[in-house]
Structures are given as C-alpha cells and as structure tokens.
Structure 1
Amino acid sequence: MVFFTSIFTCLAILSTTVVALAIPLGTTGRSLSISEDGQTISIDGRAINLDQAVTRAGVCSPSSHGGGRQRHGKGGPSSNSTSAASNNAKAIYFLTNAANNSIVALKVAADGSLSDGSITSTGGVGMSGVDSTGAPAAPDSLFSQGALKVAGNSLVAVNPGSNTLSMFSISPTDPTQLTPLGNPVSTLGDFPVSVTLSTKLSLACVANTGARAGVACLTMSPNGLTPLDKTLRPFALNQSNPPSGPLNTVSQTFFNADSSALITTVKGDPSVNNTGFLSVFPVTNGAVSMTETRSSPAGTAVLFGTALLPNSNNIFVTDASFGSATLSLDAKNVASVVAKTNIADQKATCWAAFSDVTGTAFVTDVAVNHLVEVDTATGALIKELQSGNGNPGMIDLVSVGNFVYALSPGNGSVKAAVTVFDVSGGRGAAKEIQNFNPTGVPDSAQGMAFV
C-alpha cells in the first residue's frame, strides 16, 4: 500500500502538467505512464483510472488479493508463479450441461488457485449423448472439445438439449459476472457440441453432431447472436437424437490462427471401417465457404481435441485410438501426419492444449487420471504426470500463462473438480497444485474456457 500511496502522491503533484510522462520502475525495465490529464496511469498496457481506483471500496483489502481463499489438494504454487500473473487467467468457465444448462465461472487468484464465483443460466437445455447400450454417455457426455468459448469480453456456449447457442458479455471488473446478450439462437442442427469464435470476422460457428449434423455460423454483436447461414455445412453421420458415441461424432470446430479457415475434427469408427476426417472450409471475403476439403491423415482414426501451434500451419490433435499427433496442412488444406505419439496406457486420450510457457502440448484422458506432456515437433512423450487426487480422469482443459486447468466431470461417487497444474518450471516440470471441487456442480460438467 505504501508503494501505491507514493505513486498517488506523486501523481497529485504532477497532475497540474499537461505533458504525458513515463516513470521507470527500478531496474525491472518496465515503466509507469501518466496520461496528459493526470487521471490515468498505465503499467504494461493496463490502464487505471485514478478516480475509480482511489474511491473503490476495499481496493487494498486482503480479500481483493486472494487472501484467505481455501485451497484443495496438496502442494502450493512455485515461487515464481506470480511473476507472470498478468498473463494468467482471471476466471475460468465450464458448462453444467444439466437440464437447466448453466455456466460455472470460477475465480482465479494470482497464484493460479481457484475459488467459487458464480453459476449463470444459459437459458437453454443441456443433454448427454448415449453409449452403445443407449445409456447416458457420462462422464464424456458431449464427445467434444470446446463446448464454450471466450473472445474479448464475450462468451458463447452450446445448449445440446435445445439446439441453441447462448451469448454473454463478461464484466470488465468481475469476470465471474455474466450478462446475457439476447436470447438463445438456433444452431440449425441437432445436438451442438463445439463452438469457435473469431473477433476478426465477428463470427461464431457451431458444430452439431445429432441427426442434423454439420456446422453453422452466426454473427456476433453487442446485442447477441444473429443467424447468418440458412443451411448447415453438412456431415453425413447418420446419427440419432441424442447421438450415440463417442465414435462417429463431431469432435471440435475451430478457426485457424488468422481466421482464414474453419476446421473441424470428426471421429471415425474403426470397428466398421469408418475413417474419421479433418474438414476445412476456407474463409473468403470475410465469409466461411460452403465448400470444404476433407482428408483422413494416414494412421489416424478417431480425431478429437486440437490445439493450434504457434508460428506454424500445424495442428496438434488427439486420437483416442493411440494418443496424439501433429498434422500439417498443405496449400490445398489436405492434412498429413508429421509427428505421432503412442501413449501406452491410454484409454481415451481426447483433449488437448498447448502451453506457451513450456512450448509443449498437454493431453488428458477421461478414464486415466494423468496429464501427459508431448513434444509437438517430434512426438516424444516428455512426461506422464499421474495424479493421486482420486478423480476418475480429466476431460477438457486450457493452458494460460503458468497454469493448466483440467476439468474432471465426476462420476456419481466422485464430485466434479478442476485440477490446477503449475507449469512455470518449464518443459517436463508440471506439478499439481490444487484439486478444487466447485459448489453446486453436477456430474455432467463439460467444456473449458478462460479470460
């Protein structure tokens, strides 16, 4: 508090000048900038309005800095976890996928740890797919990655049971506070499971995997979502409502790094010689084409979750039949395998995230409670971190800053949880620091996103 008091005193003196200033912060190489009117300071591009900062209640209270929050699980954050706090998540989100579908928002402290935040209804209905016997397919009830996504201050989530998408604005002062933008909007298909957002195109595109399977796109605005397409970009899966899976279903839809293509992974079914494929719809003049390129990379069968690789046209992808692979797209959008990882004890390796801190990818398995780290260039298996927290396994995950967050949906006897891994030690040094059980979350939880 002494540091900021000194700054505010200095600013009170300097506010009479009309010249913008930059003040070095010791030997850090960073600086504090003061606006010409003396009302705003900026550090690392983050602006603080002084009137709001001085008058805001509790600005220096311990609770506003994460003090007193209960931690779950063993261990603690590494000593340098807070060094990149500005690059870490402020909140993470996932779906309940219950009958009254809702978004769970958890608070993230500077040390990466989680605490309860809010639960907000989507206005839509959740639903589980079924297994080969016709029973609900929990815990992997959507057979997908990316059931909700965040772009800027907007969040969009699927409602599998009502075939709709819901859009929300995220409060800039409390990211666990979500405000609905308009009403849920039709996805043009059945059983939507994955959504992707492009701020460049102002588009939300959603993949359906029920009887009417395929991808549709909608425009995003401050008022919510507006249907753009009139028909689906179809996938002939011959599925039912709800769909039977996880085989022969859509896995994930996503834009590439520059939003020049909409890409979707679709699982095959090796038992009936049905090969999965990668679908690519190019973006032309700001619109997603209705004409696609499909390819089935050699050796793959059950393409699932993906992660874009930086400074590359390559895609990291899981395949539940063996582990994971790195795919390269050529000029014609045809995919081929450039690296492959066989995970010997895997049962359902389906979800993926890439860490900028480690320069590696992490994958999870719904039936094996481990976090596996992979070298995306060579396919080498770097580390298999076995967790002893009692969860049955993990599904959707995100990597942000020094931390990886992975969702475990629960299974009736074990509650839903989010496991936090600290990766600040770099390649091969991931460690579990928390296993948090959110309040009021059913076993059907799905998806993962962050802001």
Structure 2
Amino acid sequence: MRSSQLLRLITVNIGIAYSFAVSYPRDDSFYGQNRAAYFQDNDSAGNSLVALQISEYDGTLSNPVKISTGGKGLAGLVAVSQDSVVVDGNYIFTINAGDNTFSLFIIDGRDPTHPKLVGNALPTLGQTPVSVTYSDKLKTACALNSGSTAGITCFKISTHGPTPQGGLRFIPQTELNDSSAPPPGPLVLSADISFNPTSTALFATVRSNGALPGLLYTYPISPSGQISVTPIVTSLPSLPFLFSLNFLDNNPSHLFVTNPHQFSPGAAFLNIEYPSLKASVEKIITIPGQIASCWVAYAPQLDAVYIIDAARPNVVTISPETGEVTGQTSFPANNLVESGGADARVDRNWLYILSDDQMDPKVIIMEVGPEQVPTTVQEFDIFQQVGTIPGLMGMAIYPTEY
C-alpha cells in the first residue's frame, strides 16, 4: 500500500472515530426537538395561552409568548380541575371558563411557542367549562362544564377547526348536590374528563358536597365511534371529592384518581371492568400529610407518579404499579401564604409545577428520576417574565412523547 493511501485510510478512520465520539450518547428522541410548555392566564378581559420555550438540555424555561384563545377566562378560577390545557400531537385544546367556550390551536413543530388559533372559540353549551380531553383515534375532543348547566360537549377536530358534535350531555344538578353556578375556586364540582387509552369509553369525575359519594360518569363508545348520550354512573362512597383521572400504562382497566380533602387518604386505584364499564375501588392510597392532593403527573419512562398538593408545596412520588409511596419532598413557595401547586406535567427528567400562589406565581422546575429526590433547578417568575396574570390555570407540554 502506498503511503498516501495509508494516510488517507488513517485520516478516514480517525474522522469516523471522532464523529462517533462527539455524537455518543446523543439520542434524537431526547434532544434536537423544539419543546414548549403551556398554561392559560384565565383573564376575564380576554383569555391567553402562555407558551414558554423549554431548553432541550436542562429543561429550563425562557422566552414567554402570550397568544389569545379567542375567549374569556374567569379570574380567580384556580385549582379546580386537571386538563384545562391539553396537548395531543400538534394540537392544543383549551377551555375558556369566562364565556363558556372551547379553543383549538395548531402547533408548528419548528416554532412551538407560537401556536395558531384555528377557527373561532366555540360554545361548550354549558357553564364554567373546566377540563378537556382528546381522542386521536376518534378525532374528537370533549369539554366538561361544571356550572349550573353542567355536562359534556364534544367537537370533531381537523386542521380546519373544531365542529360541534351533538348537544350537551347533561349532568343533573341533583347529582352535583348544588342548584347554583359554583363560585370560583375549589368548590367547582366536576373536575376532570378523559377518554380511556382505547377510546372505547369517556370518563368524567363529579365531586359531591362532601356528605355524599363522589360519582364517576362513564359514556360507552360504539365501534363506529359514537359516544353514548346515556352515562353509566358509579357511586364511590369512599371518594366523595373525586378529582383527577389518570389511566396508567395505557391500561384501560387501571385508573388512578385523587380525592383531595384533608380528612381523606388522598388517592385510589380504580378497576374498570369491560364491557360493563363498572368501576370499583381496587386500593385506597394514603398520601402522607395531604391536604388537597389534586394534581397528578405520570412519568412512565421513570416508572413514577408525582402527586402535587394544592394547599402545600409538596411532591409525593408513588409507584404506578403498587401505589407504594416511594418519596416525598417540598418545592419553593411563599412562606407568607398557604400555597401549593395548580397543575403539573413531566417532560423527560423534569417536573413542571404551576404555583397557585396568586401573589407570587411561578413555574417550579424540578429534576426527577429513578431513585432521585426531586431537586429544584429553576423558579420561573411569571410576574417578572410574563406580567400580571389574573388566574393562571393548566399545564401542558409539547411534544407529548416522553
């Protein structure tokens, strides 16, 4: 072999080795994506979606952008529901509690902090919508109303905008145990809505006034995709303050719920039978020291469920399989007021907690992981970075892949 050929061969091999050295262990599914977090400001003068850029390397937030939802918020409506802002694929879904409407956005993956409102905000046909869910299989989103006209309204979803599908699936006030529109705050009595992972049923939680059982509303979905207008109602006496709905491990039978009341254990596993859709309490889970264990952030990649209290700055980690408490820690909060979280989500190895302290609102970012105590890495100051927020609400992440 000539010396020049040998030199070229050595050069090529060194180049290949160097290329592998600098790229390993980078994984395109973990890095290299534009990421964003979203919540709403709940302004009664005009609701806005607030988008925040997420660092692909350390999970920190920056560069906030406000985008009108086309509807009105309800200032002071804090800590009332989970899933008031939902990301699925390249869609964002929000509800506007101040004028009883539903909004759809489309995300450009190249610039996720500037989502575009599609069409107009549409009526939810009820009062005080608090939660929304989406089925990609059915191309359908459904909003849960919790006011004096309570119930569920669904919309067919496309890139052209939402289209109403049928009327209001009414929830009688006799079952809400209240005959008037609920005031802003935690007394709103229907709290969360979710399709199961197979899109064969739609679920909604309904809390009582504390003296009566909580209710789980379940709407069967036909093989052709028709959502029943007649619910199967399950009474759950041990869960009067039924709140957050969370299907774990894509298992339609494994439903994790919270029950945020200081005299309650705090959470439970429910078993859903098919095809009857009967629900039963499988296991009651005691959350140590809980006052209002509302928010659930499920991280299957970390084999963990994080539960955030709305009344104290506390994060409890449990096993999604057994419900065993595996850790507990606190996050930074204003010591002058009693405050906790107002929603939460996990993205990769970071937990995003929306503070419910209206005097000093922040997004708390904590690094989390297997056998790791959650550690605060950033306190994103909303007043300083975004401006006055009348009533922040909801937390969602793009992209939704873990």
Is 1:371 matched with 2:311? no
Q: CA contact under 8 A between 1:210 and 1:239: conserved in structure 2?
A: no
Equivalent position of 1:288 in the other structure:
227
- Aligned equivalent of 1:327: 270
Give me the whole-angstrom Cα distance separating, in 2, the residues matched to 1:310 and 1:178: 29
Aligned equivalent of 1:448:
395
Correspondent of 1:341 among 285, 298, 319: 285
Aligned to 1:255: 195
TM-superposition CA deviations, 1:314-373 (whole Å, max 9, x none): 111111122111111112212222232222422211111211232121111121001111
Per-residue CA deviations over 1:121-178 (Å, capped at 9, x if unaligned) read: 11111114xxxxxxx5x643xx111111112111111011111011111122110002
What is the rounded CA distance, in whole Å, between the counterparts of 2:70 and 2:179 in structure 1? 26
Question: Counterpart of 2:156?
Answer: 219
Give the secondary-structure state (helix, strand or coil) at the position aligned to 2:289: coil
- In 1, the alpha carbon distance for the partners of 2:271 and 2:280 equals 5
Structure 1 counterpart of 2:216: 278
* Counterpart in the other structure of 1:103: 49
CA contact (8 A) 2:193 2:245 kept: no
Q: Which residue identity lines up with residue 293 of structure 1 in the other structure?
A: I
2:249 aligned residue: 310
- CA deviations 1:259-286 (Å, max 9, x no partner) are 111111111222xx22111111111111
Of residues 103, 106, 113, the one that matches 1:176 is: 113
1:420 aligns with 2:365: yes
Q: Decide whether aligned partners of structure 1 residues 162 and 388 sit closer, same or farther in structure 2, where only a CA change above 3 A counts.
A: closer
Q: 1:388 to 1:107 in 2, by over 3 A?
A: same
Q: CA deviation at 1:228?
A: 0.8
Question: Is the Cα contact below 8 Å between 2:74 and 2:184 reproduced in 1?
Answer: no
Deviations 1:240-265 (A, max 9, x none): 33546634611100111121111111
**Is 2:189 the partner of 1:189?**
no
Percent identical? 32
The letter for the 2-side match of 1:304 is F
TM-score normalised to structure 2 length: 0.84
CA contact (8 A) 1:340 1:378 kept: no
8 Å CA contact 1:252–1:265 kept in 2: the answer is yes
Task: Give the aligned partner of residue 228 of structure 1.
Answer: 165
Aligned to 1:4: none
Find the aligned partners of 1:269 and 1:184 in 2 and give their Cα distance.
31
Whichever residue aligns with residue 90 of structure 2, its letter is N
Q: Distance in 2 between matches of 1:382 and 1:258?
A: 29
The secondary structure found in structure 1 opposite 2:31 is helix
Q: Which amino acid aligns with 1:252?
A: D
TM-score (norm 1): 0.75
**Other-structure match for 1:354:** 298
For 2:190, the aligned partner's letter is V
1:24-173 alignment, distance < 5 Å: 26=20, 84-85=30-31, 90-99=35-44, 100-110=46-56, 111-128=58-75, 139-140=78-79, 143-173=80-110
1:266-309 CA distances to partner (integer Å, 9 max, x unpaired)?
11222xx2211111111111121112112133521111113220
DSSP 3-state at the match of 1:357 = helix
Instruction: Give yes or no for contact 1:373–1:382 (8 Å, CA) kept in 2.
Output: yes
Separation in 2 of the partners of 1:335 and 1:436? 40
Moved over 6 A (4+): 27-32
Q: Is the 8 A contact 2:34 2:111 kept in 1?
A: no
Cα distance change, pair 169–27 in 1 and its aligned pair in 2 (3 A): same
Give the unaligned 5+ runs of structure 1.
1-9, 11-24, 33-42, 47-83, 129-135
CA distance in 2, matches of 1:361, 1:441: 32
2:237 aligned with 1:301, yes or no? no
> How large is the Cα RMSD of the aligned pairs?
2.7
Per-residue CA deviations over 1:371-394 (Å, capped at 9, x if unaligned) read: 111123332222111123437211
Decide whether the 8 Å contact of 2:35 with 2:112 is kept in 1: yes
The 8 Å contact of residues 78 and 185 in structure 2, kept in 1 or not, is answered as no
2:372 pairs with 1:435: no
Distance 1:269 1:248, change over 3 A: farther
